[in-house]
Structure 1
């Protein structure tokens, strides 16, 4: 166990599958005290049972990150149960891809609500607490699509992930003393994101792309652990990781 991870209270949104689930397992093995958030409570509770059976500490909290009240309640529950919050991993995300001409405006709205507002709601919920305790760590999961526009199918998704990068950099500059910020930008990593596209033609292309390129979700979990485990005066601001095979 890493001394800088052990006993830290870590909130992970989108913890019911993919990157969030893998990160929960990885940090749980290293002694973190986990607060796992998602809408699918049954999945969360199964993961909590697995982590606690292995000797770890974890609780599940039903959370829709697009609802500010849910995110506030999540942080309050973490503090009530563990006494504090040390790390927020803003991981919850959605990726319904399609060309702009398909005009899937409802999907655009939902993507903005989860990928941008969800991150902001998380920051709003923890920032006063981090400022008061003089420490804390916000880890925002973006994407390589936040570095290069994923056209012609992911323009809106890219827009949300560019926003996450801007929010993360602004938070780094504005953060209270002692508060660290990290942005993680993965490429094709095994998760349910590849299943979110309702446009049949796009969905087939995305799944073929992932089948040819994807790397395991614990690749990202290790990057998140690396950022957390640094000494308190070291801030890993950005990690970009892709499969070796991925060109985009």
Structure 2
């Protein structure tokens, strides 16, 4: 086994790092961090890594893996520790949308949305936690969605439901872990529409997210995540006004008996 390249920089694992928000986040944190970049698409992942290393001095490990497979997530932990000797933060950034009305959803639709949007994050949290507990500190960041707060888009109903699940899971993992390890943070990030390939890559196809109104760039979202990696806030939207919008929605629904 090769000797780890021990880093005096904090080391971040970013899943879904071959493009979109993940690649943008890698660019934001590269000047100050060691990076373990994970994705299924080897060629695209290599291009991101080459760009960062060419920019100067950033230690980058690329791992081609499918994070919906627990054994692959375990391998990511092993390979990152073998290279750097440490993991300081883990960003669960894998997700996929869907274009299907709720009355038309199939078992496979639901299974895929849960596998990609929930299980990938669950595996990341569970597999990195032993290392964080041993270190006494760490940071998990789960990338959710405004649709995880409210069902704004009918055709995204199963995705919205999966992100609701992820939100609840994130909050409960945070509560459980911080009862014994208060220096381990579990943060939730909730973007709205982002100008990436997300819409085009949705199950059953979909509208190009770049054509939708009131969108953000991947770089804008990545800047918010990069800030959260520093200030460790537990729950953050990526656009001003989002918290008020969600609070107003919940104030308008549900009544006491």
Q: Same fold (TM over 0.5)?
A: yes
Question: Which residue does the alignment assign to 2:97?
Answer: 95
Mapping of residues 82-161 of structure 1, within 5 Å: 82-161=84-163
Question: Does the CA contact (< 8 Å) of 2:12 and 2:87 recur in 1?
Answer: yes
Question: Which residue does the alignment assign to 2:233?
Answer: 236
Q: Which has the higher contact order (CA 8 A, sep 6+)?
A: 1
Gaps of 5+ in 1: 1-5
Matched length = 233
Q: Which has the larger radius of gyration?
A: 2
d(CA) in 2 for partners of 1:36, 1:53:
16
Question: Which residue does the alignment assign to 2:188?
Answer: 183
d(CA) in 1 for partners of 2:204, 2:97:
12
Q: Secondary structure at the match of 1:113?
A: helix
- TM-score w.r.t. the length of structure 1 is 0.87
Question: Which residue does the alignment assign to 2:172?
Answer: 170
Question: Does the CA contact (< 8 Å) of 2:12 and 2:88 recur in 1?
Answer: yes
Choose 71-80 or 221-230, whichever is displaced more: 221-230
> How many angstroms does 1:199 deviate by?
4.2
Question: Does the CA contact (< 8 Å) of 1:79 and 1:85 recur in 2?
Answer: yes
Residues 191-236 of structure 1, C-alpha deviations (whole Å, 9 max, x = no match): 2211123546xx2xx4378432221101111111111123xxxx40
Question: Which residue does the alignment assign to 1:3?
Answer: none
Gaps of 5+ in 2: 1-7, 247-257
Mapping of residues 53-68 of structure 1, within 5 Å: 53-55=54-56, 56-68=58-70
> How many angstroms does 1:158 deviate by?
0.8
> How many angstroms does 1:244 deviate by?
7.5
Question: Which residue does the alignment assign to 2:228?
Answer: 227
Residues 70-116 of structure 1, C-alpha deviations (whole Å, 9 max, x = no match): 01100111100010100000001111221023334323221110110
d(CA) in 2 for partners of 1:225, 1:213:
22
CA 1:11–1:151: 2 relative to 1, 3 Å: same
Choose 167-176 or 105-114, whichever is displaced more: 105-114
> How many angstroms does 1:133 deviate by?
0.3
Mapping of residues 21-40 of structure 1, within 5 Å: 21-28=23-30, 30-40=31-41
